[in-house]
């Protein structure tokens, strides 16, 4: 029976797991839990192909309790009910361990059905998810579980796994020598994006599609590896965590005035074809992070965004790159977003009072009889188009929301008004 190479390479002991040293290294918390054989409720969170299922299988081998495995993508309440039924038999007298893969696909009712049995210890839950558990998992389950984040493997760990895969694959070829160049290892490690299963699958395709030479040798070089992988797949789900993580890194790189990092994250978004999110985020950045330090910036970005939407991909990448580099290298000011934030905070927390009577609408018959607008001073009737008067409500008359940013444009405006208001 055919057995995928990735399954043959799958570690059987905790010490054989590739990567995840932050939780599985010597003396680390998850390693200690597994070796103690005192398994508690756990949630494994991380991208595909980083060892979540492997570790769950190792726990299954070491546990003295009956082990069940469900995939939430196709499991139902009936499957859970069947497991619960086993709890009342001899098979479940010491409790059971349930590994629930892709738990984010269970709705709230399905997750709640487990809660009673998790609470009294009859079911020990090990769940895995590629999505942020704080967004997708019922809070009552979260509060009773320990969350372990599995991280993408670095290239060194992936190459180590590939070398092990070569040895195991060679055993199946009965005398055929398998040689893999360093460049091929490097390419497979780089193109896998931290997913060891993807790297091994690529190697397997290379092996099966390459015939032995006259010397009975299968040679996998960089060219063969590239043909086998075809295209690097980035972790990007427009409805998932990676979408928001990349957008966040994109904005923070621009805010931090790093055009190279900003262009890198733009490239990821372009590769995913996510034009709407890019355009929206560029407009937000122009107002939030550049703001009044370079007020023309938002107009230029709007023109770039309009051009990108008119062009569509692939040409849209050009005006988007122009807007990104402009914003990353522009002077920065968050004075506008801070000002509106302070004002909104006061609306939520302070008694703001009524609009001053001299500012109320007076463009109707009878307004004067109500005292509306009588004491209003029209600024254009005074020198420099300015006259001091109260504009904020009485309860907020001393409030300060806007503070000029330390940049050339806002500095010049502040200096101008300091002189005018002093006079």
Condensed to tens digits (0 to 9), the pLDDT of residues 150-168 reads 988 888 999 999 999 998 8
| Local confidence band at 235 (pLDDT 50, 70, 90 cut-offs) | low
Q: Point out the domain boundary residue: 99, 118, 149.
A: 149
pTM summary value: 0.64
Q: CA 231, CA 222: separation in Å to the nearest integer?
A: 14
Q: What is the mean pLDDT of residues 235-249?
A: 72
**Pair 299, 189 in one domain:** no
Q: Is residue 13 part of a domain?
A: no
Q: Which of 31-40, 96-105, 168-177 has the highest mean pLDDT?
A: 96-105
| Local confidence band at 127 (pLDDT 50, 70, 90 cut-offs) | very high
Q: Is 170 exposed, middle or buried (0-12, 13-18, 19+ CB in 10 A)?
A: middle
**Pair 88, 163 in one domain:** no
CATH number of the domain where residue 105 is located: 3.40.50.300
The residue among 364 and 323 whose pLDDT is bigger is 323
Condensed to tens digits (0 to 9), the pLDDT of residues 284-319 reads 999 999 999 999 999 999 999 999 999 999 999 999
CATH number of the domain where residue 195 is located: 1.10.8.60
| Local confidence band at 1 (pLDDT 50, 70, 90 cut-offs) | low
| Local confidence band at 329 (pLDDT 50, 70, 90 cut-offs) | very high
Q: Point out the domain boundary residue: 229, 259, 285.
A: 229
Q: Is residue 26 part of a domain?
A: yes
**Pair 178, 204 in one domain:** yes
Q: Is residue 14 part of a domain?
A: no
Condensed to tens digits (0 to 9), the pLDDT of residues 247-276 reads 999 999 999 999 999 999 999 999 888 899
Provide the number of structural domains found in the chain. Answer: 4
Q: CA 355, CA 247: separation in Å to the nearest integer?
A: 40
CATH number of the domain where residue 274 is located: 1.20.272.10
**Pair 193, 305 in one domain:** no
**Pair 92, 181 in one domain:** no
How far is the CA of 215 from the CAs of 172, 205, 221, in angstroms? Answer: 18, 21, 16
Q: Is 390 exposed, middle or buried (0-12, 13-18, 19+ CB in 10 A)?
A: exposed
Provide the 10 A C-beta neighbour count for residue 106.
Answer: 26
Q: Is residue 374 part of a domain?
A: yes
Q: What is the mean pLDDT of residues 63-67?
A: 77
**Pair 202, 170 in one domain:** yes
Q: Is residue 338 part of a domain?
A: no
**Pair 108, 141 in one domain:** yes
Nearest to 356 by CA among 327, 332, 376, 334: 376
Q: Point out the domain boundary residue: 229, 256, 274.
A: 229
Q: Looking at residue 321, what is its pLDDT?
A: 96
**Pair 309, 380 in one domain:** no
- Stretch among 79-93, 115-129, 174-188, 240-254 having the lowest mean pLDDT: 79-93
Tell me what the pLDDT averaged over the chain comes to: 87
Q: Is residue 81 part of a domain?
A: yes
**Pair 195, 138 in one domain:** no
118 phi and psi angles, rounded to 5 deg: -70, -40
Whether residue 190 is predicted with pLDDT greater than 80 in this model: the reply is yes
Number of alpha carbons in the 13 Å side-chain half-sphere of residue 192: 31
Q: Looking at residue 128, what is its pLDDT?
A: 92
Condensed to tens digits (0 to 9), the pLDDT of residues 36-59 reads 878 889 999 988 888 898 898 888
**Pair 371, 412 in one domain:** yes
Q: Which domain holds residue 383?
A: 358-422
Token pair listed for 244: 């928001």
Nearest to 266 by CA among 222, 239, 304, 214: 304
Task: Quickly tell me which residue has 């694959």 as its tokens.
Answer: 169
Contact 404, 335 (CB under 8 A): yes
Whether residue 361 is predicted with pLDDT greater than 70 in this model: the reply is yes
Q: Is residue 341 part of a domain?
A: no
Task: Quickly tell me which residue has 């059987």 as its tokens.
Answer: 12
**Pair 128, 219 in one domain:** no
Number of alpha carbons in the 13 Å side-chain half-sphere of residue 83: 26
CATH number of the domain where residue 416 is located: 1.10.3710.10
Nearest to 110 by CA among 93, 127, 96, 97: 127
Go through the chain and tell me how many residues it has: 423
Looking at the chain, the whole-number percentage of residues with pLDDT higher than 90 is 36
| Local confidence band at 4 (pLDDT 50, 70, 90 cut-offs) | confident
**Pair 179, 210 in one domain:** yes
Q: Which of 88-102, 167-181, 387-401 has the highest mean pLDDT?
A: 387-401
Q: Is residue 399 part of a domain?
A: yes
Q: Looking at residue 198, what is its pLDDT?
A: 87
């Amino acid at each position: 029976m055919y057995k995928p190479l990735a399954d043959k390479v799958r570690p059987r002991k905790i010490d054989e797991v590739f990567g995840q040293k932050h939780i599985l290294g010597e003396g680390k918390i998850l390693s200690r839990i597994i070796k103690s054989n005192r398994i508690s409720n756990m949630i494994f969170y991380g991208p595909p192909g980083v060892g979540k299922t492997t570790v769950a299988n190792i726990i299954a081998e070491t546990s003295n309790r009956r082990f069940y495995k469900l995939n939430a993508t196709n499991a139902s309440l009936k499957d859970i009910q069947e497991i619960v039924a086993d709890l009342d038999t001899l098979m479940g007298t010491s409790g059971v361990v349930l590994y629930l893969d892709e738990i984010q696909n269970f709705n709230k009712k399905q997750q709640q059905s487990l809660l009673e049995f998790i609470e009294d210890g009859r079911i020990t839950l090990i769940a895995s998810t590629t999505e942020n558990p704080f967004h997708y998992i019922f809070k009552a389950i979260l509060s009773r579980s320990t969350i372990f984040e599995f991280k993408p493997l670095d290239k060194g760990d992936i190459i180590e796994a590939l070398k092990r895969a070569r040895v195991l694959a060679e055993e199946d070829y009965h005398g055929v020598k398998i040689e893999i160049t360093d460049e091929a290892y490097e390419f497979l490690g780089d193109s896998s994006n931290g997913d060891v299963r993807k790297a091994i699958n690529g190697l397997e395709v290379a092996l099966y599609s390459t015939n032995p030479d006259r010397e009975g040798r299968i040679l996998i070089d960089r060219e063969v590896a590239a043909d086998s992988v075809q295209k690097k797949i980035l972790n990007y789900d427009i409805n998932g965590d990676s979408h928001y993580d990349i957008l966040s890194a994109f904005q923070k790189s621009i805010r931090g005035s790093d055009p190279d990092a900003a262009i890198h994250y733009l490239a990821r978004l372009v590769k995913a074809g996510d034009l709407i999110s890019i355009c929206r985020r560029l407009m937000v950045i122009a107002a939030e992070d550049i703001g009044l330090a370079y007020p023309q910036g938002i107009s230029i970005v709007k023109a770039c965004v309009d051009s990108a939407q008119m062009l569509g991909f692939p040409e849209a990448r050009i005006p988007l790159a122009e807007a990104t580099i402009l914003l990353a290298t522009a002077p920065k000011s968050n004075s506008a977003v801070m000002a509106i934030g302070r004002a909104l905070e006061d609306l939520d927390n302070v008694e703001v009072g009524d609009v001053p009577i001299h500012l109320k609408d007076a463009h109707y018959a009878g307004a004067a009889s109500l005292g509306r607008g009588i004491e209003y001073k029209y600024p254009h009737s005074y020198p420099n188009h300015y006259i001091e008067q109260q504009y904020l409500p009485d309860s907020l008359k001393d409030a300060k929301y806007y503070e000029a940013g330390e940049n050339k444009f806002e500095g010049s405006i502040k200096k101008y008004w300091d002189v005018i208001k002093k006079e």
